[in-house]
Structure 1
Amino acid sequence: MPQSLFWTRTDTAGAEHVVLDSRQGLAARGVALAVDPIPYTCRYQLTVGQDWSATRLEAEAEGAGWSRSVRLERTGNGWRVRTGEQGDLDATLRAAGHAPAGLPGTDDPGRLADALDLDLGGSPLFNTLPVRRLGLSRAPADQARRVTVAWVLVPSLAVVPAEQVYTSLGPGRVRFASDTFTADLDVDPDGFVVRYPGLAERVDPR
């Protein structure tokens, strides 16, 4: 993997490190960790085609007394979703005063059929997928594109469809919106997030 990116979380204590190769689509291996809503580590492997449509994600989340995994693979007519679980994440969440997370994955993969992109909760890397696929980092200002993503919640690894809107704001700036949430992202010439207000900032080698 010829490239390495590192972000620190600005919304909570945490960080993400990923090694990747973006010369022909994207192949990436990353690890993210945070203390909210409970301390967890999430490791993932991501594969994206040359057209920057996502094709595969394997993610594993782990904390005290529990671990979960999910694998998403694109098929001819949607996504295949497989999961695994050990321990009791819901019990850990309840003990910390949080609502239970439910099961990992999805009981209806057909709901994800329209998703060309994946989004791993709390990870600034995954914003790059629609940015690159749609060419937004270099697009003229005020071009808005609506996308459907398979959103993988962390740490539960539940998978839900989500509608998101990406709007180019001129070179190096992209507005991200989902429901009532909006953030103006700073991205580098390759579409990777440099600053995600309220979530993360990239730390580059000096």
Structure 2
Amino acid sequence: MPLPNVVFWERSDVPGAEHALLETRDGLYARGTLLAAVPVPFACHYEVRTGPDGATVRLDARTEGAGWARGVRLELAAGRWRVTGSEQGDLDAELTRSGHARAGLPGCADPDLLYGAFDVGLGGSALSATLPVRRLGLLGSEAGVSHRLSVAWVLLPSLEVVQADQIYTPLGDGRVRFADETASVDLIFDGDGLVTDRPGLARRVTASA
């Protein structure tokens, strides 16, 4: 059964939402918008593409808020990530006015640290969990067997890119346990491999809800 063309999640941690349009020919292509009011009100527009093997090959993301805008592009070429960042205005000034710490620069100072990462994650995005789950076929794999991954993780709203270690463990019945250095939660997926509930972050909203 193909993925739905449109998906929508409502944030449960902060005021916000995520909307994405999906295509599944020759891999997964998603074009979406993520809105959040914390740490400062911002919008993130993104495009992500995977190859037929499920590995992410490209991510373009742009964030914008009051008086600032940032962009980042990640491209996988010959097994290595090429990362390009850009910025306009002053996000740090907006963060400081809101009582938050300064942000890192968009992009990655040393892309070689991302070597071995086959998935890209976007902070605050429910769609991000779909990428490794689909690539590894976890919804149909043996329950209880953990998979440790290296992920190119994009922080929002700064668009700083860091290497992150994550563990995914299929539990059966459309559930996969996600763990990193800060959290461990049981994600719930539909039959198409899309997150319906990511406790503490977002819940899928459907037309009948």
Q: TM-score, normalised by structure 2?
A: 0.96
Displacement of 1:136 in angstroms is 0.7
2:68 maps to: 66
CA distance in 2, matches of 1:81, 1:34: 24
CA distance in 2, matches of 1:102, 1:130: 26
Displacement of 1:191 in angstroms is 1.1
CA distance in 2, matches of 1:51, 1:73: 16
Instruction: Provide Cα deviations, 1:85-137, integer angstroms capped at 9, x if missing partner.
Output: 00000111011100000211111111111110000000010101110111111
Aligned residues: 206
1:169 maps to: 171
Displacement of 1:14 in angstroms is 0.2
Displacement of 1:60 in angstroms is 0.2
CA distance in 2, matches of 1:67, 1:196: 28
Residue 184 of structure 1 aligns to which amino acid in structure 2?
Answer: D
Cα RMSD for the two superposed structures = 1.2
CA distance in 2, matches of 1:186, 1:23: 24
Moved more, 121-130 or 22-31: 22-31
Displacement of 1:24 in angstroms is 2.6
CA distance in 2, matches of 1:128, 1:121: 13
Matched, 1:27 2:29: yes
CA distance in 2, matches of 1:46, 1:58: 6
Residue 122 of structure 2 aligns to which amino acid in structure 1?
Answer: L
Work out which of the residue numbers 154, 157, 164 in structure 2 matches 1:155: 157
CA distance in 2, matches of 1:176, 1:23: 27
Superposed, 1:108-187 pairs within 5 Å as 108-187=110-189
Residue 203 of structure 1 aligns to which amino acid in structure 2?
Answer: V
Displacement of 1:143 in angstroms is 1.4
1:93 maps to: 95
Displacement of 1:70 in angstroms is 0.1
Tell me, yes or no, if the aligned pair for 1:140 and 1:171 is still in contact at 8 Å: no
1:39 maps to: 41
1:204 maps to: 206
Displacement of 1:2 in angstroms is 6.3
Tell me, yes or no, if the aligned pair for 1:175 and 1:184 is still in contact at 8 Å: yes
Moved more, 20-29 or 49-58: 20-29
Instruction: Provide Cα deviations, 1:55-94, integer angstroms capped at 9, x if missing partner.
Output: 0000000000100000000010310011110000011101
CA distance in 2, matches of 1:2, 1:138: 19
Q: Which residues of structure 1 form unaligned runs of 5+?
A: none
2:78 maps to: 76
Tell me, yes or no, if the aligned pair for 1:31 and 1:42 is still in contact at 8 Å: yes
Moved more, 81-90 or 134-143: 134-143
Q: Which residues of structure 2 form unaligned runs of 5+?
A: none
Percent of matched pairs sharing the same residue = 54
Change (3 A) 1:189 1:181: same
Work out which of the residue numbers 100, 105, 108 in structure 2 matches 1:106: 108
Q: Secondary structure at the match of 1:169?
A: strand
